[in-house]
Amino acid sequence: MSTSDIAQLNATQQEALQTYIAVTDQDPTTAIPLLQRSDWNVQIAISRFFDGEPASDLLAEARAAETAQSLPAPSSRHAANLQFESLLAASSSPIRRTPPEDVVQRVDTTATTTPAYQPPPLFSVFFAPFNVLFRLFRSILSPLSFLVPSFASSIIRNLLTSQPRSSRRQLPPADTARRFIREFEETYTPNPPLPFIESGFNLALENCKRDSKFLLAVLLSPSHDETYTWVRDTLMSSQLHQFLQAHQHELTLWGGSVQDTEGYQVSNSLNCTKFPFAALICQTTEGTGTGSRPGEMTVVMRAAGPMPASELVAKLGTAMTAQQSQLAATRAQRAEQQAERSLREEQDSAYERSLAQDRERARRKREEEEARAQAEKQALEAAALEQKRAEQVQSWRLWRSSHIPEEPDTNSPGTVRLSVRLADGQRLIRKFESDAPLEDLYAFVECHDLLGIQEKLTIPSQPPDDYNHEYKFRLVSPMPRNVIDLESGGTIGARIGRGGNLIVEELDAED
């Protein structure tokens, strides 16, 4: 068939052709006739490709059976699953409708460990001699054991042995998954190892629902006779390994054993009736099964019992292709929602930062205003205090100037004549009684500008309250230098003598 003929196909037929080629890797020239014979049903065409052309038209039989049973018209994807499951059955088996897709819920992992099976004591006693004979013949005739069917060997072993099977210790879900992987690798030695996830079924289910991924749940029964063959030929096949590698970013592989509590609960949740068992689970955007609702995790593919690797890969590829568009739409919607959420968070963060900056500026402005107001208040208080102190100093000087003793007569004995040079260069000359206290000399120097004009001023009758006057200078005798400090006390005659020249030195803050 030419390219122009392919272009004449409608959109649905072209999509079916691409899906068929992606799974079977066939040429379009041979793929289109097979799809036409299968009424453009991809699953029926894939089944015919792997199993061969059936003797009868199974598609017509399936339609006739559907009409005879007067079933309601299913959706296109659900009808495809019904037809595909019918084609996989043997031609002698009656065509029946497969159960609807089941909603997968969380499993209860708190159940106690299933008690180990132990034969009744009567059987153990009765078959004790046969047990000895069986062990003897088994050791002798072990090279010929392939002649005895496996199920008969299991029945005889269970009846003859008196040793009960050991029960498995219940572990947390993650530890149970790691134990399953370790026992699987020790038993089958896969090379390369299968990418089983080391977590419980509930966590794997939630992660796949959150990330819009597929979950391939594999349940094994070690006591089943066909488990080893299925694991070796199908689960560990290169075809399935390549499929898992190609879909490693969108497919999670979880495995469990029905000997464990979690595996047993999962098998009940997935309605597993035959081992080995594999189920493909994903989130659907529309309710497809009984009691299912949009957004729930549902089983979209079941593989019960042994089957070739090519058939399992074909079923997985068909189911994933059918669900790929809705999962991609879900992922895109979640990515858009996440982008909107991130944008809102960024906007909220920017708003919070701007609001925080405004608050910081307002706080700084308020603190600056409070500091300025406090500084102004302190300046006013300091000025008021300075003014009050200046008034107290002036009041004290007026009061003290009125209590300086009169200058003694020149001819009076015991008179001390002093010459005091002020800091501004002015010189004061005055006589004092030799027994006058030294403080009178300091008071004279402090109040010399008020002497002689007291009658023009209002002289207070007493010094200011709560005021202790401090002199801001000291008197020094220059040659030899001698500080006449007021703190040492004494009289003028005792400290200075009969007379002398003194200098006024201003005191700084440190002095």
Domain ranges of the chain: 3-88, 118-163, 167-338, 415-506
How many beta carbons lie within 10 A of that of residue 311, not counting itself? Answer: 16
pLDDT-above-70 percentage for the chain = 76
Task: Look at residue 59 and tell me whether its pLDDT is greater than 70.
Answer: no
Query: What is d(CA 438, CA 418) in angstroms, rounded to the nearest whole number?
Result: 12
Mean pLDDT for the stretch of residues 405-421: 83
Q: Is the dihedral of CA 16, 19, 23, 26 positive or negative?
A: positive
Cβ atoms of 432 and 416 within 8 Å: the answer is: yes
Q: Is the pTM of this model over 0.85?
A: no
Query: What is d(CA 423, CA 266) in angstroms, rounded to the nearest whole number?
Result: 107
Q: What is the 3-state secondary structure (H, E, C) of 211-224?
A: HCCEEEEEEECCCC
Task: Look at residue 508 and tell me whether its pLDDT is greater than 80.
Answer: no
pLDDT at position 220, please? 94
Q: Mean pLDDT, the chain, as a whole number?
A: 79
* Amino acid of residue 490: G
Task: Look at residue 244 and tell me whether its pLDDT is greater than 90.
Answer: yes
Cβ atoms of 421 and 502 within 8 Å: the answer is: yes
Query: What is d(CA 192, CA 238) in angstroms, rounded to the nearest whole number?
Result: 9
Strand positions, DSSP E, 270-321: 277-283, 297-304
Structure tokens at 156: 């005889």
Strand pairing report for 251-257 and 214-220: parallel
Q: Is the dihedral of CA 268, 235, 249, 262 positive or negative?
A: positive
Query: What is d(CA 32, CA 45) in angstroms, rounded to the nearest whole number?
Result: 10
426: closest CA among 410, 445, 440, 407? Answer: 445
CATH code reported for the domain at 415-506: 3.10.20.90
Mean pLDDT for the stretch of residues 280-293: 67
Higher-scoring residue by pLDDT: 30, 256: 256
- CATH 3.40.50.12160 given to domain 167-338: no
Task: Look at residue 481 and tell me whether its pLDDT is greater than 80.
Answer: yes
Mean pLDDT for the stretch of residues 163-172: 64
pLDDT at position 83, please? 40
Query: What is d(CA 478, CA 480) in angstroms, rounded to the nearest whole number?
Result: 5
Q: What is the pLDDT of residues 423-450, one digit of tens each?
A: 888 898 888 888 889 888 898 888 888 8
Task: Look at residue 309 and tell me whether its pLDDT is greater than 60.
Answer: yes
- What is the longest distance spanned by two Cα atoms in the chain? 164
Task: Look at residue 78 and tell me whether its pLDDT is greater than 50.
Answer: no
Q: What is the pLDDT of residues 174-211, one digit of tens each?
A: 999 999 999 999 999 888 899 999 999 999 999 999 88
Which ranges constitute the DSSP H helices of 189-260? Answer: 201-211, 227-230, 238-246
426: closest CA among 348, 332, 504? Answer: 504
Indicate the pLDDT class of residue 355, thresholds 50, 70 and 90: very high
pLDDT at position 84, please? 40
CB half-sphere exposure, 118, CA atoms < 13 A: 10
